[in-house]
Amino acid sequence: MKEIIFPTSLKKGAKIALISPAGAVEEKQVEEGIELINKKGFEPVLGQHLFTKYVHGYNYAGTEKERVSDLNWAFNDDEIEAVWASRGGYGCQHLLKHLKLVKFRNHPKWYIGYSDNTVIQSFLLKNNFASINGQTLKTSSFGVTGESYDLIFDILKGGKPTYQIPTHYLNKKGTVEGPLVGGNLALVYALLGTSYSFDFREKILFIEEIGEKYYALDRMLMSLELAGVFRKIKGLIIGGMINMGDEKDNANYEESFDEFAYQLIAERLKKYNFPTIFGFPNGHIYDNRPLIIGANVVMNIGSETFVAF
């Protein structure tokens, strides 16, 4: 694996491009995020189609051409220092074949997002660039902690997070170190067999999910199993599993880690011995702490559980 490239730290006044690569978003839904960027001393720069809406079987944030034009502008404009997605939803896969990194290669920028943005982050890692799997500008119906945003700004300014999290009874103990890949499980699954899929060999995989029936969760796990993913990885971090099965809206942190979903995952992984963390606070959940895709991460799972970059 080639050396991963990390963008330089942002200074006060740096310009952050705000774009909508997937689902449509309304201005009022990102007002607080834009205000926060200003409060932190950075300058938000709105993409031309940030608030565009194009209905075509789904409420997209513009046509494919409009969405990719915003993303290519943000990636390659020399004045932009970071790129922050307004939301996920669906649509990022449309853009993969059209993304350009001509100027980006000489001026790498942090890309921030999660959910559907997993495919953009896989694309960047294929090109040896790290990115931030973290909260989008639009918060979910159940909100998000202030710390979830603060930790993103810490990374933008050069910090690397260390997390101590509650020990889960399904954890598999051990200590392992390796580059982090992954994100939303449905998108990790959707990219399998394509040239845009993550390279899982000797990596630590992170997965999280929302709103899937239990059989669909099992199908995705089986696809990873049949593709040999679990034979290749060194460790696994499992984040939020929310609104799974026939559950109604799980609106609080305590209900963000679906017990039966975790049991299904544990059953599928019982023949593997790699260290595994259940209950990591990242995903479509209230406490959504950022992870750095492509960065080296250390998992230490014992009587206490630590994840450090």
**Is 98 annotated in the active site?**
no
Closest C-alpha among 187, 200, 212 to residue 96: 187
**Is 107 annotated in the active site?**
no
- Among 208, 209, 212, 255, the active-site one is 208
* Token pair listed for 178: 């390796």
**Is 115 annotated in the active site?**
yes
Distance (Å, rounded) from C-alpha 191 to C-alpha 189?
A: 6
Query: With contact defined as beta carbons under 8 Å apart, do 165 and 171 qualify?
Result: no
CA 123 centroid distance within chain = 12
- Among 20, 86, 115, 122, the active-site one is 115
Pairing of strands 204-210, 235-242: parallel
Place of tokens 């669909």: 216
* Token pair listed for 93: 């896969």
Distance (Å, rounded) from C-alpha 231 to C-alpha 250?
A: 33
Query: With contact defined as beta carbons under 8 Å apart, do 195 and 300 qualify?
Result: no
Query: With contact defined as beta carbons under 8 Å apart, do 159 and 309 qualify?
Result: no
- Among 20, 209, 212, 284, the active-site one is 284
What are the residue numbers of the active site?
115, 208, 284
